[in-house]
Amino acid sequence: MDSKSILLALQTGEINYSEAKILLLKIMGNTPQATPVSAPGGHRMDSTYAAAIAGPLTQQLALLEERPAGYFDRQEATYPELFHMNSVTTGTPVFWLHGGGGGIQPYIMIAQMSQRPFFGIQARGWMKENVKPIRGVKAMAAYYVEILKAVQPHGPYDLGGYSLAGCLAYEMTGLLQRAGEVVNSIVMIDSLSPAGLKLYQPDQKDYLLEIINILLLNTVMATPEKYYQVMIRREEVDVHVSDEAFLSQLILLAKLRGLKKDTARIEKEVWMTMEVQKAYEVSSYQLEDLPDPTGLTCYYFRNRNGLFYGDMEPYLCMAPPVVSLDHINYWEEWEQQLPDFHVIDVNAANHMIMLAEQEVHLSIIDFCAALYAKGGMTIDFLRSFKRITKNRHGSR
């Protein structure tokens, strides 16, 4: 039984969490470590289990391609950006939007633990040839509301996601409220507000370096100690060449460090991803007041470490940023716009890999399992969770 089969069996209820844990640890060649946290149904998970279920990324992506057939097929056929990410078909759906990278694969295990149908919406044009991305955050949000309503015609709605997804969810909330609908909640994972986004201004070669290094990180996602072994530092490549020659340098180094794709495919993926990222046009995005800002609750997972790039800056930028995003309160606008705003502190090495860090990922999984439980989440749980999470994620 491989990782993919185990996760599918967990989805369908053929095995429980304890059985899945034993099987996953066995095939990964690991032994449990004594850092348990609560999982849905009273089961326990630990950091080794997190690494196991992170698994090879290709197996996680295969779960999206072979999701259960049936109830939501028509909507997914109409909107190829829409993915039903778990096997649950009853209850009010949950919708998470893509981050700046365009994909939704980091949400797979969050979806698996949800007791409600969990949908991910990835960026149009992401990894899709001959499909042009939508330009601008507001236009994207309008299209995503169309997708959302195809699945759930009327609210209340629950939205969420990492980084850029916060802006998308906020804009969708405004559109839904103006249409007379209710949005119950937004979960933001370290989402930059528009003021913060305007400080994030990569150029073409920055994009290329970042995209290639993210591809390399995906090859070692379950083994953080290898991150800096596989990534490419800016000093290793010549910036004084054309963009095409620059990308050729990066691809050569990436293949030497374990990226197992042919050159033509890597080139296509990189240019498609960059086109999607440029289409966000974040420098021109302006925040507007919601019609009913008191009508929803926002849960914000903040990186208390305060680092955007941190030690990864030489691997994601070709030169130090003119204005650093480290230790900047880039969530301040959300606090000002959303009165019912709850900060949940976690401690990641930096913003860029928050969902790759086991303790952070487990905390988000745990929280969302409670928030999206059939009975909902109580205020007592929220207070307790914030306290426990703050203690668990002590200063580095």
DSSP string, 105-146: GGGHHHHHT-SS-EEEEPPTTTT-TT-PPPPSHHHHHHHHHH
Nearest to 81 by CA among 160, 163, 21, 144: 144
Provide the number of structural domains found in the chain.
3
pLDDT at 19: 61
61 and 176 inside one domain:
yes
At residue 221, does pLDDT exceed 80?
no
**Residue 120: both structure tokens together:** 């991910």
Find the radius of gyration of the CA atoms of the chain.
Answer: 20
pLDDT at 106: 86
Average pLDDT over residues 8-31: 55
Question: In this structure, is residue 133 part of a structural domain?
Answer: yes
189 and 232 inside one domain:
no
Q: Name, of 106-115, 186-195, 219-228, the range with top average pLDDT.
A: 186-195
Q: How far apart are CA 146 and CA 140, in angstroms?
A: 10
User: Which domain-ending residue is among 253, 279, 305?
Assistant: 279
119 and 210 inside one domain:
no
At residue 57, does pLDDT exceed 80?
no
User: Which domain-ending residue is among 36, 54, 72?
Assistant: 54
160 and 87 inside one domain:
yes
User: Which domain-ending residue is among 216, 245, 279?
Assistant: 279
Q: Name, of 98-107, 144-153, 326-335, the range with top average pLDDT.
A: 144-153
Nearest to 93 by CA among 71, 60, 123: 71
Average pLDDT over residues 134-151: 96
**Residue 129: both structure tokens together:** 């040839």
Q: Tell me the pLDDT of the chain averaged across its residues.
A: 82
**Residue 23: domain span:** 1-54
40 near 84, Cβ under 8 Å? no
356 and 269 inside one domain:
no
Query: How large a percentage of the chain has pLDDT more than 70?
Result: 79
Region of 161 (left: φ > 0; alpha: ψ -120 to 50; beta: rest) is left
What are the start-end ranges of the H helices in the chain?
3-12, 17-28, 47-54, 57-65, 73-78, 108-112, 137-151, 165-178, 194-197, 204-219, 227-230, 243-256, 263-279, 313-316, 332-337, 358-371, 379-392
50 and 132 inside one domain:
no
Q: How far apart are CA 222 and CA 51, in angstroms?
A: 5
364 near 110, Cβ under 8 Å? yes
Question: In this structure, is residue 190 part of a structural domain?
Answer: yes
Query: How large a percentage of the chain has pLDDT more than 90?
Result: 47
258 near 390, Cβ under 8 Å? no
Instruction: Give 49's pLDDT tier (boundaries 50, 70, 90).
Output: very low
Instruction: Give 29's pLDDT tier (boundaries 50, 70, 90).
Output: very low
What does the angle CA 273 – CA 275 – CA 276 come to, to the nearest 5 degrees? 65
60 and 113 inside one domain:
yes
At residue 314, does pLDDT exceed 50?
yes
Reduced to 3 states, what is the DSSP secondary structure of residue 327?
coil
Average pLDDT over residues 297-302: 95
Question: In this structure, is residue 168 part of a structural domain?
Answer: yes
262 and 298 inside one domain:
no
191 and 305 inside one domain:
yes
Instruction: Give 43's pLDDT tier (boundaries 50, 70, 90).
Output: very low
At residue 76, does pLDDT exceed 80?
no
Average pLDDT over residues 267-280: 92
At residue 92, does pLDDT exceed 90?
yes
Reduced to 3 states, what is the DSSP secondary structure of residue 392?
helix
Instruction: Give 380's pLDDT tier (boundaries 50, 70, 90).
Output: confident
At residue 54, does pLDDT exceed 80?
no
> How far does the chain reach from its first CA to its final CA, in angstroms?
38
Question: In this structure, is residue 299 part of a structural domain?
Answer: yes
Instruction: Give 59's pLDDT tier (boundaries 50, 70, 90).
Output: very low
Question: In this structure, is residue 284 part of a structural domain?
Answer: no
Q: How far apart are CA 210 and CA 231, in angstroms?
A: 10
Q: Name, of 1-10, 72-81, 151-160, 360-369, the range with top average pLDDT.
A: 151-160
CATH assignment of the domain containing 93: 3.40.50.1820
Nearest to 334 by CA among 326, 344, 324, 342: 342
270 and 313 inside one domain:
no
Instruction: Among 69-83, 118-132, 162-176, 263-277, name the one with the lowest average pLDDT.
Output: 69-83
101 and 161 inside one domain:
yes
328 and 272 inside one domain:
no
With 0-12 CB in 10 A as exposed, 13-18 as middle and 19+ as buried, what is 311?
exposed
